[in-house]
Structure 1
């Protein structure tokens, strides 16, 4: 039986309970404040998630998990339908995007009716706390990147 390899200590102290001094555990109210400051329209859906609608997509701001495992996700559902015949080119395009950019990471979803739609996502572990500046900048950057992806893909595929 092989001995279990211990996790190396890289000089990082084990996390202490609660957020570190100067940090916050973001919540939906904070996201609403950020969206208000950015002058972005939003709604609260039936599941209680914030959603910002655009003409060709919807961006959701979601909190999942609890405690130290709490995750904030910005997930964009692109409404433009694609066919199964287009999927190989589409996958090649989003692979290129995913290699060249940090976010959103984009993937495809094939519906039962055969239409292919794209979803972009960025996530941040927030349960142990983050600085307000980091959270705000990341949220706004992720929204901008979601918009840029839609423009990039429309131009690349001649859909604009």
Structure 2
């Protein structure tokens, strides 16, 4: 066959060029609570292990959890809860604000739940690491979940007036 090299490859006339993996590339490993804890410690963050065995701490006054979900703990989720609650009467306005956030940004997913007669606002970033994750991949998801969650809650401070305090959550 004659013709451009890419065309020959598409038509099966030439083999695909081999991609050489960089020699310093880390192999993915299973994600564990210890690996998440090591990342947090390396950053100098303070956290505790709660009664459910999840890592949790407060950033800018809001509670964040670092969860391992799924059948084998392969899904990493960073979940944050804003440190204010909003009256139920503001559900429509809050839902519109969160919808705007979700439409304009990829992370974090933002949602609200009714808790004890008030609205609680949450952030979530999740990633499925079934085949494992490198330290760099894990750090990226944890950093994204925490950083974008803090950004969401800061935006809420300026957007949603009159949020009441959250129920007491123990500090770490």
* TM superposition score normalised by structure 1: 0.79
- Give, in angstroms, the shift of residue 79 of structure 1: 2.9
Alignment of 1:130-149 (within 5 A): 130-149=133-152
- Give, in angstroms, the shift of residue 159 of structure 1: 5.9
For the residues of structure 1 that align with 2:120 and 2:52, how far apart are their CA atoms?
A: 21
Q: Which ranges in structure 2 are unaligned for 5 or more consecutive residues? A: 1-25, 164-172
- Give, in angstroms, the shift of residue 114 of structure 1: 2.0
Partner of 1:92: 96
For the residues of structure 2 that align with 1:159 and 1:57, how far apart are their CA atoms?
A: 16
- Give, in angstroms, the shift of residue 55 of structure 1: 5.0
Contact 2:31 2:74 in 1 (8 A): no
Q: CA RMSD in A?
A: 1.9
Partner of 1:3: none
From 125, 129, 140, the counterpart of 1:126: 129
Are positions 1:40 and 2:45 aligned together?
A: yes
Contact 1:104 1:122 in 2 (8 A): yes
Partner of 2:75: 71
1:10-64: CA deviation from partner (whole Å, max 9, x where unpaired): xxxxxxxxxxx71111111111111112111101000000001235321001112
Are positions 1:105 and 2:91 aligned together?
A: no
From 49, 62, 68, the counterpart of 2:67: 62
Task: Give the paired residue count.
Answer: 138
For the residues of structure 1 that align with 2:152 and 2:108, how far apart are their CA atoms?
A: 8
* TM superposition score normalised by structure 2: 0.74
Contact 2:29 2:133 in 1 (8 A): yes
Alignment of 1:19-30 (within 5 A): 22-30=27-35
Moved over 2 A (4+): 157-160
For the residues of structure 2 that align with 1:123 and 1:34, how far apart are their CA atoms?
A: 16
Partner of 1:150: 153
